A and B are shown apart, each in its own frame.
Chain A
Amino acid sequence: MPHNKTQDTLVGLFVAAGIASLFFLALQVSNLSSFTKGNTYEVVARFSNSGGLKAKAAVSAAGVKIGSVKSITFDPKTFESIVKMDIDAQYNTLPDDVTASVYTAGLLGEQYVSLDGGGSDDYLKNGSKIEITNSSLILEKAIGQFLFKSAEENKGSSDKKTSPKK
């Protein structure tokens, strides 16, 4: 059977298009490109409530992703959630007194851990613990507090309104 050049070219184009779309799916569509399994170090933070945080959620500082949540476990003694995070090794100069907070990206978005502030000369190392944490905002609690507060305020303002008349 003689080699058919047009056929070879067409099959080559087809295979190239197929493999290119596989690469497109892997790099452009999925999270493979931001997947850094290479050099990371692990830090632990304890939250009194980690809300809807999930493993693989982002850890960011100043809005830039610097790592990901590795695991979330519950400590039955202290009633806290223990969040282990993998931070990219190139960010090895984070002060060890940073504040870890659980935030929500947008109103309906995913929850992530944000590291802010800190001015210590000692840096976070593998296995170190973040002492200062802010729990996630629970919407029901916040609404409850807001309603309670506004009720109190109404009461206060109605007292003020009535008092000058007397």
Chain B
Amino acid sequence: MEFFRSLGANTRESFTKLGRGSYFLIGMLAGISSVLVRPNLILKQMHSVGVLSFLIIFISGLFVGMVLGLQGFYILSRFGAEETLGVMVAASLVRELGPVVSALLFAGRAGSALTAEIGLMKATEQLSGMEMMAIDPIKRIISPRFLAGFLSMPLLAALFSAVGIMGGQIVGCGLLGVDDGAYWSQMNAAIDFQKDIINGVIKSLVFGFITTWIALFEGYDAVPTAEGVSRATTRTVVNSAFSILGLDFILTALMFGDN
């Protein structure tokens, strides 16, 4: 009996949380127009969300591409198909690893920072202070951060893929002796702009939306204590990772499932 009671309580809790989340989302989206007329707010957030994530994305992309080059060469050389290394590296980066890994890194690097920042603002009653001065904290604090995260994510994912492809080329052509021309031309022939590149960008837009939303909401919804903020930050990273990987499966099935 106790089990069913706690299950019911959990269900009620998740419903109210989902309700608060969607209410928050509507307010956040409604605040976008008032943020756009003050682009300084967005630029400042793009600096802390995008520019400061640049280095980790760049280095991870390079190493992921180099590892793909090594592993791909090892497998492909068993079939005498080293020339298709470029296709393997580019397809796996553009379709999957670029959007997914950069979104996971983004959730860890930028998402957790957003949650901690807003949670601390709430704990030190800065948000209430704004409301006292008749400034809507959603419009002033939340919407610029959302817009910055949503716009930075596809740029970071594209950067990750591009750097990764070059990393694969460095290892494949420089170290392992795959022909440079074959690497690029086979890649060119096999990667389709609409099917691969555009779908990858759509994926990263979805991930940027969901990650930034979760991070901002967890911060805004955090229990205003030190422990509450720390729990909210953990929840941001865990929930973002779950939703990125789950949504990735659904999106991949929708985009590439029919062939």
Q: In this assembly, does A148 line the interface, its C-beta being within 8 Å of a C-beta of chain B?
A: no
New A-B pairs, 7, CB < 8 Å, besides A21-B155, A29-B165:
A14-B50, A15-B50, A21-B161, A26-B197, A30-B192, A31-B188, A32-B197
Q: How far is the CB of A104 from chain B (nearest CB, A)?
A: 14
Within 8 A of A (CB), among B116-136: none
Size of the chain A interface, CB-CB below 8 angstroms: 28
- What CA separation (Å) do A29 and B161 show in the bound complex? 10
Distance in angstroms from B108 CB to nearest chain A CB is: 19
A25 touches B197 (CB 8 A): yes
Least Cβ–Cβ distance between B99 and chain A, in angstroms: 12
Residues in B whose Cβ lies below 8 Å from that of A110: 189
Given contacts A11-B50, A11-B51, A31-B193, contact A21 B44 (CB under 8 A): no
CB within 8 Å: A-B pair count = 86
**C-alpha spacing A119/B116, complex, angstroms:** 76
Report yes or no: A29 in contact with B47, Cβ–Cβ below 8 A: no
For chain A, residues 1 to 28, give those with C-beta under 8 angstroms from any C-beta of chain B: 1, 3-4, 7-8, 10-11, 13-15, 17-19, 21-22, 24-26, 28
Distance in Å: Cβ of B137 to nearest Cβ of chain A? 17
Bits for A64-91, please: 1 = Cβ < 8 Å to B, else 0: 0000000000000000000000000000
| Residues of chain B contacted by A10 (CB below 8 angstroms) | 47, 51
The size class of the interface chain B forms with chain A is 20 to 34
Residues of B within 8 A of A14 (CB): 46-47, 50-51, 54, 152, 155
Give chain A residues whose Cβ lies under 8 Å from the Cβ of B251.
none
CB distance from B194 to the nearest CB of A (A): 9
Show 6 A/B contacts (Cβ-Cβ < 8 Å), sorted by A. A11-B50, A18-B154, A18-B159, A21-B158, A25-B161, A25-B200
* A residues at B contact (CB < 8 Å): 1, 3-4, 7-8, 10-11, 13-15, 17-19, 21-22, 24-26, 28-35, 108, 110
Residues 174 to 207 of chain B near chain A (Cβ within 8 Å) = 184, 187-189, 191-193, 196-197, 200-201
Residue of A nearest to B200 (CB): A25
- Contact residues in A for B184 (Cβ distance below 8 Å): 28
* Chain B residues in the interface with A (C-beta under 8 A): 40-41, 43-44, 46-47, 50-51, 54, 80-81, 90, 94, 152, 154-156, 158-159, 161-163, 165, 184, 187-189, 191-193, 196-197, 200-201
Closest A residue to B38 using CB positions:
A1
Do the beta carbons of A31 and B189 come within 8 Å of each other?
yes
Chain A residues closer than 8 Å to B41, beta-carbon distance: 1
Known: A7-B47, A10-B51. A21 touches B193 (CB 8 A): no
Q: Which B-chain residue is minimally distant from A6 (CB atoms)?
A: B47
Residues of A within 8 A of B46 (CB): 11, 14-15
> Which listed residue, A3, A13, A15, A30, touches B197 by the CB 8 Å rule?
A30
Provide the residues of chain B in CB contact with A26, threshold 8 Å. 193, 197
Q: Which 10 A-B pairs have the closest CB atoms?
A: A18-B155, A21-B162, A30-B193, A32-B193, A21-B158, A22-B158, A30-B191, A14-B51, A21-B159, A10-B51
- Please name all residues of chain A whose beta carbon is closer than 8 Å to the beta carbon of B94 when the two chains form the complex: 25, 29
A24 with B197: CB separation less than 8 A: no
The CA-CA distance from A110 to B84 in the complex, in Å, is: 12
- Chain B nearest CB from A49 CB (Å) reads 23
How far is the CB of A26 from the nearest CB of chain B, in Å? 6
Chain B residue at minimal CB-CB distance from A35: B193
List the A residue with the shortest CB-CB distance to B153: A18
B25 CB, nearest partner CB in chain A, Å? 25
Given the interface pairs A22-B201, A110-B189, the reply to whether A7 lies near B43 with Cβ below 8 Å is: yes
